Amino acid sequence: MTDYRAVRGMVDILPQDTPRWQYIEKTLAAVLGSYGYSEIRLPIIESTGLFARSIGEVTDIVEKEMYSFEDRNGDGLTLRPEGTAGCVRAAVQHNLISTPQKLWYMGPMFRYERPQKGRQRQFHQVGVEAFGVGTPDLDVELLLLGRAMWRALGVGDLLTLELNSIGSPEARAQYKEGLVAYLEGHKTALDEDSQRRLTTNPLRILDSKNPETQALLAEAPELHAYLDDASREDFQQLCELLEAAGLEYRVNQRLVRGLDYYNKSVFEWTTTALGAQGTVCGGGRYDGMVGQFGGRDTPGAGFAIGLERLALLVESLGNGGEQSSDLYVVVADESAQKHALSRIETLREHKPAWTIQMHLGGGSFKSQFKRADKSGAAFALVYGETEVSNNEVTVKPLRSGGEQVIVADNQLVTYLSQRLSQD
């Protein structure tokens, strides 16, 4: 016996849960398509330097959460902790930023974190990135797109939008000084993490969960007092557009996000339904990033959805549940199986959307019907000696009660189409 188990924080998604995942993935892809966003598929591994440079050297992710390693060639590589850096890298490399470009991607991300509900070491995101538009109408579109996705999944009522502007890098640098000056005066009252961040990443102190630190922050200088004019105007326009679109939001001046590349608008969609891991989606503008990666200066904005957290929300409402099969094929013996095989393949060709399970492994009618019941199928198709010689099949309802009916082979598609659509 081996006792291998999945690596801590790496989670198997089991067959009972994959229907919900497929439902979420399909729904999100459809909404994204309807807003004119195209899918891009990116490698899971990138150069370590790419993340250090874009996310920021002193962020939590780069300091302590990345899975980095050297390959056999000695190159420093990292399992991507997020998707924006790789997406911008690809957009610059393939010259996709010359026109307004609206992209999305989906896949696993890796961060060495303490696993808990809604927090894993391998988790999944759908990311959305748009390049080439510097005006707040893009920010609004991204937020409307978010709302459309929540609504499509039926979780719209569970999510609220928090919004902030963190201004230009220069304005933020000045604010940082003001904040540090204030907090230095109260250093001993800060929690340990925040004391450390005072010299490394002081803005992160704003979203400290420590109540005493939060109390201190109530008197701290406000970010919006430091905003540059352009950021202030854009933020006001953004708010006006959101009101015009009927999208409710709450301005939260302490919302800063954990990644360095953002400027101007930042936002989070949060829920109270998931306990501590309440942020389902986060994003904002990153106008400097494309230029920083060697592309022509091009504005950009985007967001990423945490799919595990979204799946927990969808599950809490009982949506996207298990798909049951439609038909289960029961055969009397080997010769009935031979007869059934070709007929069932024809049925599958006609009706590719139906889930048809062929009984495998033989056994008595009784044991086959047991499995048919367990499969959740609506009907059993039974091939016995009589059916085979008469070119017909017995259709036996498994869930709705009702009588079994003998149907001629050439009537089967028509008959089942009616019965399955009523079901």
Among 125, 165, 231, 337, binds ligand ATP (CB under 6 A): 125
Residue placing its CB nearer to ligand ATP in the complex, 57 or 243? 57
Question: Shortest approach of ligand ATP to residue 189 CB, angstroms?
Answer: 23
Among 103, 256, 304, 340, binds ligand ATP (CB under 6 A): 304
Residue placing its CB nearer to ligand ATP in the complex, 261 or 383? 261
On whether the CB atoms of residues 267 and 282 are closer than 8 A, the answer is yes
Of 81, 210, 190, 226, the residue nearest 199 (C-alpha): 190
290 near ligand ATP (CB under 6 A):
no
On whether the CB atoms of residues 34 and 144 are closer than 8 A, the answer is no
Residue placing its CB nearer to ligand ATP in the complex, 89 or 111? 111
Q: Are strands 379-383 and 392-397 parallel, antiparallel or unpaired?
A: antiparallel
Cα 85 versus chain centre, distance: 17
119 near ligand ATP (CB under 6 A):
yes
| Number of residues in contact with ligand ATP under rule CB under 6 A | 18
Q: Binding mask 77-116 vs ligand ATP (x if CB under 6 A, - otherwise)?
A: -----x----------------------------x-x---
Q: Which two tokens stand for residue 258?
A: 């954990």
Question: Shortest approach of ligand ATP to residue 351 CB, angstroms?
Answer: 38
Residue nearest to ligand ATP according to CB distances in the complex: 306
Give the angle subtended at the CA of 78 by the CAs of 72 and 79, to the nearest 5°. Answer: 115
Report residue 236: phi and psi, to 5°: -65, -40
User: CA-to-CA distance for 100 and 111, rounded, in angstroms?
Assistant: 31
Q: Are strands 263-270 and 160-165 parallel, antiparallel or unpaired?
A: antiparallel
Residue placing its CB nearer to ligand ATP in the complex, 152 or 358? 152
306 near ligand ATP (CB under 6 A):
yes
164 near ligand ATP (CB under 6 A):
no
Question: Shortest approach of ligand ATP to residue 265 CB, angstroms?
Answer: 14
Q: Are strands 405-408 and 392-397 parallel, antiparallel or unpaired?
A: antiparallel
DSSP code, position 82: -
Question: Shortest approach of ligand ATP to residue 269 CB, angstroms?
Answer: 8
3-state helix, strand, coil in the chain (%, to 5): 45, 20, 35
Question: Shortest approach of ligand ATP to residue 191 CB, angstroms?
Answer: 16
Half-sphere exposure (Cβ direction) of 170: Cα atoms closer than 13 Å: 4
What is the number of H-type helices and E-type strands within the chain? 15, 16
Report the DSSP beta bridge partners of residue 417: none
Among 48, 59, 120, 164, binds ligand ATP (CB under 6 A): 120
Helix axes 18-34, 307-316, angle to 10 degrees: 110
The CA R_g of the chain, rounded to the nearest whole Å, is 28
Residue placing its CB nearer to ligand ATP in the complex, 113 or 193? 113
Residue placing its CB nearer to ligand ATP in the complex, 304 or 378? 304
User: What number of residues does the chain have?
Assistant: 423
Among 104, 123, 226, 262, binds ligand ATP (CB under 6 A): 123
Q: Binding mask 243-262 vs ligand ATP (x if CB under 6 A, - otherwise)?
A: ---------------x----
17 near ligand ATP (CB under 6 A):
no
Question: Shortest approach of ligand ATP to residue 318 CB, angstroms?
Answer: 21
Place of tokens 């259709």: 395
63 near ligand ATP (CB under 6 A):
no
Residue placing its CB nearer to ligand ATP in the complex, 122 or 355? 122
Residue placing its CB nearer to ligand ATP in the complex, 271 or 375? 271
Place of tokens 């002081």: 202
Report residue 278: phi and psi, to 5°: -90, -5
299 near ligand ATP (CB under 6 A):
no
Question: Shortest approach of ligand ATP to residue 117 CB, angstroms?
Answer: 10
Residue placing its CB nearer to ligand ATP in the complex, 59 or 337? 59
Where does 28-145 show beta strands of DSSP type E?
38-39, 45-47, 67-70, 76-79, 101-110, 122-131
Question: Shortest approach of ligand ATP to residue 277 CB, angstroms?
Answer: 6
Question: Could you tell me the sign of the dihedral formed by the alpha carbons of 391, 393, 394, 395, in that order?
Answer: negative
Among 167, 282, 288, 320, binds ligand ATP (CB under 6 A): 282
Among 32, 179, 216, 281, binds ligand ATP (CB under 6 A): 281
Of 375, 395, 373, 397, the residue nearest 384 (C-alpha): 395
Interface with ligand ATP (CB under 6 A): 82, 111, 113, 118-120, 123, 125, 258, 277, 279-282, 304, 306, 308-309
